[in-house]
Structure 1
Amino acid sequence: MSTSRPASETRAGRLLAGGIALLVLVFGVVGWLAGWHLGADSAVYRAGALTLLHGDPLYTRDVLTALPGWVRLPFTYTPAAAPLFLPLALVPSGLVWGVLGFLSVVALMVVITVVSSSPGRSPQLWVKSWWALPAGTAAALALEPVWKTLFLGQINLILMAFVVLDVLVLSLRQARWAGVLIGVAAAIKLTPLIFVPHLFFTGRWKDGLRALGTFAALEGAMFAVIPVDATRFWRDSATDPSRVGSVHWIFNQSLNGLVNRASALAPWSLVVAVGVAAALAVPAVWLVVRLHRRGEDAAALLVTAFYGLLLSPVSWSHHWVWCVPLVTLLLVKARWWAAAAVALLFVSQIVMLVPNGGGTEFGWGLGWSVLGNGYVLAAAAGILGLAARELRLARRSPRVVTVYQSG
């Protein structure tokens, strides 16, 4: 039997999915020519790079001098993020959203492809169909974290692709550069640092040290380039969650956001949230190790990703793009009801519908609180539920058969 047809079908599926990315770019070009204001956050990335080139301060109480007039936002990223955003300085201001949108959809395609072909149980036959990738890419655009990431011009999908490629491709292949992409992602946003202990707990010490080394080198270099800004960030901004907005706002779907909403911004809220996260770390880490030893590295990675979203002081709803690989993995494993439930949660736009803003969150009551903390409660319940299931399996069969062992 000839294998040319499957190869051509795979190519057709990738081209069709790539067409979705091109449509986003075309829309961005149209918006640029029409003078539309698209992607406030993408404008901040470009302005951060230009501010670095101009020698102006990155971290002040005022907005960046290089920002277009319709954006009034501070630069909340690390000092090393500014030089990493330098390629955007070559793009016209109005076109940055389209370029990042194109790259984000490509990143979405990469994540779906890698997760659907990751080691573990044999996937369903339909996963290999030519239409799976374009259909999955298009469907993912309906998820609130995904469309909001694209709307804002955020880089969440790109950073997620860095992590997925690092852990599920480079690390599993024992590539000599495994860990570097995680270090780069963490040097842009600190939250990907959660994947360094993930590498350690799964026995990939060299990769974890490489990730830490990359992060430290990029951030350390900035003390030589912009010593005042670098000192200001690590002394003040890095430990101040409020620098990125109101931590009690509904769109902060983290344990810290939940506790601050419930306590009406009580000064002890962060301490309580960290305590809850510390308690949740026990089943989460145990679950990661169990899944990794069984060869289910994609599932182990997702446990760490969602635990990281809970742990972070601020996890805006658009940071929850990890719902894409989760739904992908559940579909691959034929967990239809679970996949439908997760998709429904993130398609429902629940965080957009619950009353919010100002002090509205403080008067929610039980019903609104459950809905308004939907992402947080679902992730915590998922980790605890999976850990309980693994505990039952461990009691039935104490000996764990390892189908994959990292080098």
Structure 2
Amino acid sequence: MKWSKTLRVDPAPVIVGAAMTVLAVVALIWWVSATPLGVDSSVYRAGGLAVVHGESLYSPLLALPGWAPELPFTYPPFAALLFTSLTALPTQLCWGLLALAAAPSLYCTLRPFADRAHLPLLLLGAFALQPVWQTVGLGQVNLVLMAAVVADMFLLRDSRFRGIAIGIVAAVKLIPLIFIAHLLVVRRFADAARALAAFLGATALAMAVLPADSLRYWTSAIFNDHFAEMKGWVGNQSWQGFVARTIPEGGAATVVIVAFGVTCAALAMWLVHRFHRAGDDRAALLVTAGCSLLISPISWTHHWVWVVPALGYLAARGHRGVAMAIAALFTGWAVAVVPGGGGAERDWTFAEGLVGNAYLIVLLAGGLACLRATRQRGRTPGCPRRADPALPSRRSDHHARTPTSA
């Protein structure tokens, strides 16, 4: 009897496993050789040690390794409670733990946005994007937080716990609070209530355990004065960063920032509503994520990890050329070739301004394209209405993670 059955191996999990293996080996080698690794993860660990030792979170961190710059702890106190789990590990292995989460987080994020054919290539290519390799190199939590939001929105489906992950993420880093507003706009009121309850519960827990740090954070440290002088640095690709690079400080700059923020939020809510009604909740989530990057005072280049699901979304809808062009831009060369630091950004030429603000310009262009598309048609092309548009189709496992193609 002949067997002609061919064993087919899904390459995506293989890529995830290979990436985790490589990063684990790097962490072990750097630990054994006592090589500095993970600037931001060392800050997380130092914040956790401050909690364990009863030290102030928002004063200079005493547990930072000697090679690390004297960065402050800028997260809410609840984040420091979570980071106490890192205190049992050496600094390099703390980096390794966060680095190990990168590939699974990317896989979790891409599943609802990319089709099966593009997923392996997108997983591999993601590590060439500056927001991803910078997040991994610094030992940042951006990829984990993004994956938690995407899982909450799409992968949990009908779970009674939907919304809780978004609330916890918002308690770790405040900018994700915008996703609670997103839940309200798409009329997922129960999920929004659970998210808000989770955020308030986590914050209350931190207040009970760390009352002095909580008081200091919510009254002064939240304003993050440490980064005020760096707001105009090229590495900050938010609207406030753009204004700081182009308009002198003062009343005019404040008016421009506030007016843009209000307009951006209003237009984003309108777009989210329109995409949701058209059955395209993936585009709606990307709009909210883009709005958060624009209106946040600080959007460092490693915060732009949402470009990964955006590329998956574009590729799945046949816009592969556009996706490749955006991917090439987000490899990091744009912010590397222009003068940066020490106020050099204020002396940029027009051409340097275009290159140095490229991330921001691409996002604004994407927003304008969305506005044009929704104004021309009453519903988003290629996105038929479904009984529950917040969920992927359940006809098969493949369709459950594949957006409808245009």
TM-score, with length taken from structure 2: 0.89
Cα shift at 1:404:
3.9
User: SS where residue 394 of structure 1 aligns?
Assistant: coil
The whole-number CA distance in structure 2 between the counterparts of 1:13 and 1:168 is: 19
Which residue of the other structure, out of 149, 153, 157, is the alignment partner of 2:139?
153
Cα shift at 1:365:
3.0
- Deviations along 1:327-374, one digit per CA (max 9) or x if unpaired, are 111111111122122212202520122111101011113221222111
1:47-196 correspondence runs (5 A): 47-60=46-59, 62=60, 64-71=61-68, 72-116=70-114, 127-129=115-117, 132-170=118-156, 173-196=157-180
Contact 1:52–1:83 (Cα < 8 Å) also in 2 = yes
Cα shift at 1:44:
0.6
The verdict on how the C-alpha distance between 1:342 and 1:57 changes in structure 2, with shifts beyond 3 A counting, is same
2:37 paired residue number: 38
Cα shift at 1:402:
3.2
Contact 1:45–1:85 (Cα < 8 Å) also in 2 = yes
The verdict on how the C-alpha distance between 1:304 and 1:109 changes in structure 2, with shifts beyond 3 A counting, is same
User: SS where residue 355 of structure 1 aligns?
Assistant: coil
Q: Sequence identity of aligned pairs in percent? A: 39
Q: Does 1:403 align with 2:399?
A: no
The verdict on how the C-alpha distance between 1:275 and 1:94 changes in structure 2, with shifts beyond 3 A counting, is same
The verdict on how the C-alpha distance between 1:79 and 1:396 changes in structure 2, with shifts beyond 3 A counting, is closer
Which has more helix, going by share of residues?
Answer: 1
Contact 2:374–2:380 (Cα < 8 Å) also in 1 = no
The whole-number CA distance in structure 2 between the counterparts of 1:367 and 1:24 is: 38
Contact 2:237–2:298 (Cα < 8 Å) also in 1 = yes
The whole-number CA distance in structure 2 between the counterparts of 1:5 and 1:264 is: 66
TM-score, with length taken from structure 1: 0.89
Q: Does 1:229 align with 2:213?
A: yes
- C-alpha RMSD of matched pairs (Å): 2.3
Deviates more, 1:240-249 or 1:156-165: 240-249
Q: Which amino acid aligns with 1:87?
A: S
The whole-number CA distance in structure 1 between the counterparts of 2:143 and 2:379 is: 38
Deviates more, 1:305-314 or 1:95-104: 95-104
1:1-400 correspondence runs (5 A): 8-10=8-10, 12-60=11-59, 62=60, 64-71=61-68, 72-116=70-114, 127-129=115-117, 132-170=118-156, 173-240=157-224, 242-243=226-227, 246-266=230-250, 268-394=252-378
The whole-number CA distance in structure 1 between the counterparts of 2:255 and 2:82 is: 33
1:122 paired residue number: none
The whole-number CA distance in structure 2 between the counterparts of 1:297 and 1:266 is: 39
The whole-number CA distance in structure 2 between the counterparts of 1:251 and 1:381 is: 20
2:404 paired residue number: none
The verdict on how the C-alpha distance between 1:369 and 1:242 changes in structure 2, with shifts beyond 3 A counting, is farther
The whole-number CA distance in structure 1 between the counterparts of 2:56 and 2:389 is: 45
Structure 2 unpaired stretches of 5+: 391-406
Q: Which runs of 4+ in 1 moved over 6 A?
A: none
Contact 1:113–1:133 (Cα < 8 Å) also in 2 = yes
Deviates more, 1:137-146 or 1:346-355: 346-355
Cα shift at 1:273:
1.4
The whole-number CA distance in structure 1 between the counterparts of 2:388 and 2:348 is: 48
Q: Which amino acid aligns with 1:282?
A: A
User: SS where residue 197 of structure 1 aligns?
Assistant: helix
2:403 paired residue number: none
